[in-house]
């Protein structure tokens, strides 16, 4: 009986390392597969949308073409509205002067100059100095309706593309951010931001309003209470309640 038990113990000791190695391999194979998955690699594991889906801020060109027919006497009503909206955007966003290109070599060359005079009139009304404007001709290639072209440089924000909707977010055993997480938010932010430069550097602080501060400081110097006067109908503060019964 004793030799049989000793043989069993020897067999168990021989099998135990093999079973341990097998268990380690069974755990390592799925883990290795997960590590090679794109979800486990950068940038898919980044939880910050700014790093996963960055917004590109760069310099761009804002254009406005005003078509001019050969018999045009100036801007029509729709073009006036387009022009004023464009010039107001120029005052807020421009990072340089305004460039105007007038067509030459076509039948509408004289009509384009009449439209240019309307543009100058609109610029004066919105407060744009003529020193900010540069007029250049361009060859119209005999186009009878070649436009008067306005352009200026501005800072623009371009949102990321969000094409990867392959992830099944309903079942995620790894519980990791899906590829498109935060992409739509970044794209909407780039489209809605009023000044794309705000995405690069913060705006400077506005000066403090000094009226109330000067009033309080004057009372403090004179030894007077600096609290604001309260209407009896308003709720009492703690200092008022503490004086009740004295």
User: Structural domains in the chain?
Assistant: 62-156 (3.30.1330.60)
| pLDDT single digits (tens) 174-216 | 777 888 888 999 999 999 998 898 898 888 888 877 778 888 8
Look at the chain and count its residues. Answer: 246
Contact 87, 128 (CB under 8 A): yes
B/e letters for 190-216, b = 16+ CB within 10 Å, e = fewer, are beebeebbebeeeeeeeeeeeeeeeee
Alpha helices (runs of H) in 62-138, residue ranges in sequence order: 77-93, 109-126
Q: Which residues contact 173 (CB under 8 A, 6 or more apart)?
A: none
Q: Is the pLDDT of residue 20 over 70?
A: no
Q: How high does pLDDT run on average in the chain?
A: 79
Cα atoms in the Cβ-side hemisphere of radius 13 Å centred on 230: 11
| pLDDT single digits (tens) 111-153 | 999 999 999 999 999 999 989 999 999 998 888 889 999 999 9
């Amino acid at each position: 009986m004793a030799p049989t038990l000793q043989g069993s113990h020897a067999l168990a000791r021989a099998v135990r390392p093999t079973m341990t190695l097998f268990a380690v391999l069974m755990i390592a194979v799925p883990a290795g597969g997960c590590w090679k998955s794109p979800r486990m690699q950068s940038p898919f594991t980044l939880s910050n949308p700014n790093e996963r889906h960055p917004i590109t801020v760069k310099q761009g060109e804002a254009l406005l073409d005003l078509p001019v027919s050969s018999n045009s006497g100036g801007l029509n009503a729709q073009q006036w509205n387009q022009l004023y909206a464009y010039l107001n955007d120029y005052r807020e966003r421009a990072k340089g002067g305004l460039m105007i290109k007038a067509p030459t070599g076509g039948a509408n060359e004289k009509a384009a100059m009449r439209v240019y005079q309307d543009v100058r009139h609109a610029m004066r009304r919105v407060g744009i100095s003529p020193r900010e404007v540069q007029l250049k001709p361009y060859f119209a290639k005999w186009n009878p309706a070649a436009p008067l072209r306005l352009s200026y440089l501005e800072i623009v924000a371009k949102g990321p593309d969000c094409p990867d909707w392959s992830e099944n977010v309903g079942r995620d055993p790894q519980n990791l951010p899906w590829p498109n997480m935060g992409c739509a938010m970044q794209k909407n932010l780039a489209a809605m931001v009023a000044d794309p430069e705000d995405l690069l550097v913060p705006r400077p602080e506005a000066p403090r309003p000094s009226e109330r501060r000067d009033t309080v400081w004057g009372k403090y110097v004179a030894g007077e209470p600096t609290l604001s006067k309260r209407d009896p109908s308003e709720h009492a503060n703690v200092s008022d309640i503490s004086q009740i019964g004295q």
